[in-house]
Chains A and B, each alone.
Chain A
Amino acid sequence: MRFDKTEIALLGVGVALAISGLLAPGWLIFLLTVALAKGLVVQGVVMQMRAGMVSFGQGLFYCVGGYAVGMGGQFLGVSSAVLLLVLGVAAAAVLAMVLGLLLTRYREIFFAMLSLAFSMILYGVLVKGQALGSTDGFNVHSWGLFSGPASNPTMTIFYLTLACAAVVAFFLHRYTRSGVGVVCEATRENEVRVEYLGLSPRWILYANYVVAAVVSALGGGLTALAAGHVDPEMAYWTTSGEFVFIAILGGTGSVFAPFLAALVFALVRTYAIELVPNGWQMILGITLLVIIVFLPKGLWSLFSRKKEGAHS
């Protein structure tokens, strides 16, 4: 197997982060964990964006992944983090296979709004579910990597998230350059021509939708394990909106972009909250606006601009 530069860099950054995990203060480790986990959810958004579909309802799978972790511990007595994550991924895959049949018939804003509607319906169901604590949600039971409870959950979840992120990023990188990945981009550019080539864009988008759902659910499960709490807000449209925001912030240029953007977003937000408790939304909005206006292809264009210049 030959590795290209992105894959080597991936390994390098992964190792660097793993080492910094030994030195960094607790809060930074937690922030990194959540940023990486949310970065995974954003990967799902970006995958669909590459195919020209913007999901304003990716919170649906984020929430399914999170609730699977919470309910698996609560009702099934599962204490293995790995098993809980598998549970979430499986649930999301099944749900995506059903919803995908309908959703892949839609494009553009209609896809965005319909995915939002499904996410909000899940939100409504969870709000109605008083057994699950309604909007208050509930806490995730103590867990361990393979059986619980872990002696140091903060570090365990950090390394677990890092490992998941690295592995998923590796496969996504390969995926985007595989046949399916390339056809996805072609579909975004011109769906009719893809059809003329004898391919079925709908089934390719369908497969892409399901894979994106699985990746996002993994991110949701990891977030739930890290935060120790799940609530219906995970499926609320503002949560999904935040993922789209982070996706745009990073750009679709590389598998690194969503993680980087999630990290920048988290850092800007936490320092804005600390320094300007009464006006952090404005600081966040202005920072992001500036980034979007000056780097319309996302933060990643800082790293790839030179390359593009060489091509053109």
Chain B
Amino acid sequence: MKTVSTHATTFARRLSAGVAALAITASALAAGTAQAAENGKFRLGIVTFLSGPAAGPFGVPSANAAKVVVDALNAGKLPAPYNTIGINGVEIEPVLIDEAGGATKQVEEFRNLVERQKVDAVVGYISSGDCLAIAPVAEELKTLTVFYDCGTSRLFVDNKNPQYVFRTGLDAAVDNIGAVRYLAATHPDVTRIAGIQQNYAWGQDSWNDFTQSLKQVMPKTQMVQEQFPKVFQGQYGAEISALSVARPQVVHSSFWGGDMEAFVLQANARGLLDDAIALLTCGESAIDRYKDQAPNGMIIGARGPFGAFAPENELNTWFKTTYSGAFTMAPTYPATKMAHAILGLKYAAEKAGAKPGSVPASDAIAKAFAGATFPSVSGTATMARANGHQNVQEIGYGEYVYDSKAEKGTLRNVKTFSGDCVTPPDGTTSDEWIKADFPGAKCN
């Protein structure tokens, strides 16, 4: 009996000691970071994929862009009107976080960013699932959050009255409405269309938007084949055979990253792209890597006026030069989008009316951001949808051409469609807008 009670006490003591040790470690670490947080700098959370398949094509170019822009802002080296130091005269301290791991984990990390790392604002998120999950948390914690890339049309449908959440990237429906408009303008006679999409929300939504728009704009077209391989499959032998058998004139794909590059390589090698034109809504992100492995005339997009589609202006020239200088390649669209988002945040923060040299309050930044029109590396952005929380900009598509002398991929026949031509107005979902034949669309 005595031994049992001794065991029990030893046991209880060990257990409480263990719990206490854990608690102390955690709070010590917490205190450490909290102290680092109170340093008077503008702490900017940057969340993007640093591991997994989205890191190479999207995450790391974005993180690189954030680095050059933040460094230059801190040195006050950007062209006007962004030539002031940091954000509102306060030096920016970036806090970089990996977006991998799913929505639950990202909610946890977002809370850690805000409550442990005390960031003043967050810019990030590529995955639509992460954006949907983060938006209500950002509102709850009253943290200014700028989504720079995720495209889901549901973002401001689920979150109807956004206060602190902004999106500087474009709605994904824009990609496919734009793609259809481009096809109608450049290849009005095609009738046989096929599609290959990754089997997840992004691919399904893209194909849905594309086929619905096509029915309105080019009613004579028919869908001859649709394929939905698993995401990150990488090998498309059977799919390419199935597509070839259907003899399409255009193959639409919302593939991205390694999947897209692999598909282009395999489809081109097997002659599918000799007979059919590929239309890749995310195609620009690999423009420097296709080389001669993609056919000339392949239609590519950049999900807006980003990357190679970004217009010439002083800001963009600066960005392209600095980025290429630091990373030996031109910025692709994810990089431009990140720079664009940070500039938007800076613009709003400096219009917030706070004393220069102080960190503006989230409320004030949010008020200044809503409905703002700001100059950017991608031209002029207008926060014109979802109560001024969603950016509206033009979208460009063009044909890929490989210049074998310069060993460089370039664009030709670029056409852009104004934001009001491809973006649904407030109060209607993209799906309804497409089915109603784009009421109120103003096309140039």
User: Does A touch B (CB under 8 Å) in the complex?
Assistant: yes
Binds B, one of A75-83, A97-105, A126-134, A167-175: A126-134
Closest to B137 in A: A228
Taking A25-B30, A274-B33 as contacts, is the C-beta distance between A303 and B11 under 8 angstroms?
A: yes
The one of A27, A34, A229, A307 in contact with B115, judged by C-beta atoms closer than 8 angstroms, is: A27
Closest to B25 in A: A267
Which of A27, A227, A234, A302 is packed against the most chain B CB atoms within 10 Å?
A27
Contact code string A25-38 (vs B, CB < 8 Å = 1, else 0): 11110110010000
- Chain A: minimal CB distance from B204 (Å): 6
- Chain A: minimal CB distance from B297 (Å): 32
The one of B23, B108, B115, B200 in contact with A25, judged by C-beta atoms closer than 8 angstroms, is: B115
Taking A30-B108, A130-B204, A136-B129 as contacts, is the C-beta distance between A12 and B12 under 8 angstroms?
A: yes
The one of A134, A139, A234, A270 in contact with B201, judged by C-beta atoms closer than 8 angstroms, is: A134
Q: Is A12 touching B30 in the complex (CB atoms < 8 A)?
A: no
Task: Compute how far the CA of A25 lies from the CA of B25 in the bound complex, rounded to whole angstroms.
Answer: 14
Give the A-B pair count, Cβ closer than 8 A: 146
The one of A128, A264, A277, A307 in contact with B50, judged by C-beta atoms closer than 8 angstroms, is: A277
Task: Compute how far the CA of A143 lies from the CA of B33 in the bound complex, rounded to whole angstroms.
Answer: 33
Q: Is B18 touching A302 in the complex (CB atoms < 8 A)?
A: yes
Q: Quick check: is A223 within 8 A (CB to CB) of the other chain?
A: yes
Q: Quick check: is A1 within 8 A (CB to CB) of the other chain?
A: no
Task: Compute how far the CA of A171 lies from the CA of B92 in the bound complex, rounded to whole angstroms.
Answer: 52
The one of A227, A231, A280, A304 in contact with B98, judged by C-beta atoms closer than 8 angstroms, is: A280
Closest to B95 in A: A274
A27 surroundings in chain B (CB, below 8 A): 30, 111-112, 114-116
Q: Is B11 touching A30 in the complex (CB atoms < 8 A)?
A: no
- Majority SS of interface residues in chain A? helix
Q: Is B12 touching A227 in the complex (CB atoms < 8 A)?
A: no
Contact code string B179-212 (vs A, CB < 8 Å = 1, else 0): 0000000000000000000011110110010000
Task: Compute how far the CA of A28 lies from the CA of B22 in the bound complex, rounded to whole angstroms.
Answer: 12
Q: Quick check: is A197 within 8 A (CB to CB) of the other chain?
A: no
Task: Compute how far the CA of A97 lies from the CA of B115 in the bound complex, rounded to whole angstroms.
Answer: 43
Q: Is A138 touching B158 in the complex (CB atoms < 8 A)?
A: yes
Contact code string A135-152 (vs B, CB < 8 Å = 1, else 0): 111110000000000000
Binds A, one of B99-107, B375-383, B405-413: B99-107
Q: Is B96 touching A270 in the complex (CB atoms < 8 A)?
A: no
Which of B115, B137, B201 is packed against the most chain A CB atoms within 10 Å?
B201
Q: Is B200 touching A278 in the complex (CB atoms < 8 A)?
A: no
Task: Compute how far the CA of A28 lies from the CA of B133 in the bound complex, rounded to whole angstroms.
Answer: 19
The one of B107, B116, B199 in contact with A127, judged by C-beta atoms closer than 8 angstroms, is: B199
Task: Compute how far the CA of A31 lies from the CA of B116 in the bound complex, rounded to whole angstroms.
Answer: 11
Q: Is A231 touching B96 in the complex (CB atoms < 8 A)?
A: no
Q: Quick check: is B14 within 8 A (CB to CB) of the other chain?
A: yes
B137 surroundings in chain A (CB, below 8 A): 228
Q: Quick check: is A22 within 8 A (CB to CB) of the other chain?
A: no
Q: Is B158 touching A274 in the complex (CB atoms < 8 A)?
A: no
Q: Is A228 touching B136 in the complex (CB atoms < 8 A)?
A: yes
Taking A136-B128, A139-B132 as contacts, is the C-beta distance between A277 and B108 under 8 angstroms?
A: no
Number of chain B residues close to chain A: CB under 8 A: 53
Number of chain A residues close to chain B: CB under 8 A: 54
Q: Quick check: is A8 within 8 A (CB to CB) of the other chain?
A: yes
Q: Is B104 touching A229 in the complex (CB atoms < 8 A)?
A: yes
Taking A28-B26, A30-B111 as contacts, is the C-beta distance between A138 and B132 under 8 angstroms?
A: yes
Task: Compute how far the CA of A13 lies from the CA of B11 in the bound complex, rounded to whole angstroms.
Answer: 13
Q: Quick check: is B414 within 8 A (CB to CB) of the other chain?
A: no
The one of B33, B103, B199 in contact with A229, judged by C-beta atoms closer than 8 angstroms, is: B103
Q: Quick check: is A64 within 8 A (CB to CB) of the other chain?
A: no
Q: Quick check: is B293 within 8 A (CB to CB) of the other chain?
A: no
A25 surroundings in chain B (CB, below 8 A): 30, 115-116
Q: Quick check: is A180 within 8 A (CB to CB) of the other chain?
A: no
- Chain B: minimal CB distance from A161 (Å): 14
Q: Quick check: is A60 within 8 A (CB to CB) of the other chain?
A: no
Taking A27-B111, A270-B108 as contacts, is the C-beta distance between A281 and B51 under 8 angstroms?
A: yes
Closest to B198 in A: A135
A270 surroundings in chain B (CB, below 8 A): 108-109, 112
Q: Is A9 touching B107 in the complex (CB atoms < 8 A)?
A: no
Q: Quick check: is B15 within 8 A (CB to CB) of the other chain?
A: yes
The one of B12, B30, B133, B199 in contact with A139, judged by C-beta atoms closer than 8 angstroms, is: B133
Taking A229-B132, A277-B96 as contacts, is the C-beta distance between A5 and B104 under 8 angstroms?
A: no
- Chain A: minimal CB distance from B53 (Å): 13
- Chain A: minimal CB distance from B178 (Å): 21
Taking A12-B16, A139-B132 as contacts, is the C-beta distance between A228 and B11 under 8 angstroms?
A: no
Task: Compute how far the CA of A24 lies from the CA of B111 in the bound complex, rounded to whole angstroms.
Answer: 14
Q: Quick check: is B7 within 8 A (CB to CB) of the other chain?
A: yes
- Chain B: minimal CB distance from A24 (Å): 8
The one of B107, B117, B136, B152 in contact with A274, judged by C-beta atoms closer than 8 angstroms, is: B117
- Chain A: minimal CB distance from B31 (Å): 10
Closest to A32 in B: B26
Q: Is B132 touching A274 in the complex (CB atoms < 8 A)?
A: no
Q: Is B102 touching A136 in the complex (CB atoms < 8 A)?
A: no
Closest to A238 in B: B102
The one of B12, B111, B158 in contact with A9, judged by C-beta atoms closer than 8 angstroms, is: B12
Task: Compute how far the CA of A227 lies from the CA of B134 in the bound complex, rounded to whole angstroms.
Answer: 9
Task: Compute how far the CA of A12 lies from the CA of B116 in the bound complex, rounded to whole angstroms.
Answer: 27
Which of A139, A233, A271, A281 is packed against the most chain B CB atoms within 10 Å?
A139
The one of A26, A136, A227 in contact with B104, judged by C-beta atoms closer than 8 angstroms, is: A227
- Apart from A136-B129, A136-B154, A278-B51, what 5 extra A-B contacts exist at CB < 8 Å? A127-B199, A137-B132, A137-B133, A274-B97, A277-B50
Show 12 A/B contacts (Cβ-Cβ < 8 Å), sorted by A: A9-B12, A28-B116, A127-B201, A136-B132, A136-B201, A137-B129, A137-B133, A153-B140, A228-B133, A266-B108, A274-B112, A310-B7
